[in-house]
Chain A
Amino acid sequence: MVTLNVNGKSHRIEVDPATPLLYVLRDHLELNGAKFGCGLGQCGACTVIADRQPIFSCITPVSVVQERRIRTLEGLGTMEKPGAVQQAFIEEQAAQCGFCIPGMILRAQALLERDPAPSHAEIRRHMSTNLCRCGTHMRILRAVERAARAMKTGGPMRDTEGSGR
């Protein structure tokens, strides 16, 4: 039995504590934003946020994040009201097949919460752990810069960590 806080909600789940967080998110909680890409922490498709850090959920046993607040794509916004980063990715049409995009968005989200005005070089460096096989990197980079601008001008960047913060 593990306890897990995901997108502000507490869960008690009957699962082997060695199970990767990604499997618990997808199979038990049916949060299918995070994707299984390589299973080795090498591609970033499984990226979610733990507290304020982007983590690879495919290599993270669920047992180690019981004390941390997990955020997934589903926690950033809805179809009707997407979060600022999601909105920016839509506006730049940054997705081609879309498989890497949830990981890209979560990774960008963590950066912009830490540094609301990152340089282009920092964005490139920060995003470099996440791979896109369609090659839409240039649009992804533009989307992150657009999201940063939206935050700066008081755009719809919400506090996605939930109330009380």
Chain B
Amino acid sequence: MSENEHADDHAGHFIVPPKYYIINAVVIAILMFLTIAASEVTFPGGVNGMGYLVALLIAILKAACIVSIFMGVKWNTPLVKVFAIGVIGWLTILFTFPMIDLASAKWELGTPYSDIGHEGENALFMDDDAVLLVDEEPKAD
């Protein structure tokens, strides 16, 4: 039986049969238990290594199940799909720049601003004037 025979057309809008919802919920529940099981496995790379990527990947799969079946994007028009998938694009922009900063900047929680940018650790990212300004700040002692 084809998919369209299951789903009734309603003004260009498919009515999704309940069995799709039940199957989808079972799949998401299995993925949830898989997430918990994966967290017990020791993956290479430590806390931010492979285990972290597996957890994120399963979460993305679960989100895809919810969006495509529960929210019905699977049966929507191509234009609506563009807007739905476009959310990923917006989030990619949002995540890219802070992560670039994370990869390049070298600071620690509680470090005074005046201690950042001295020669050595982070000098590459500061021009000469900036280093000079930092050096000219009055010392507490």
Q: Determine if chain A interacts with chain B.
A: no
Which positions in B face A, CB cutoff 8 Å?
Answer: none
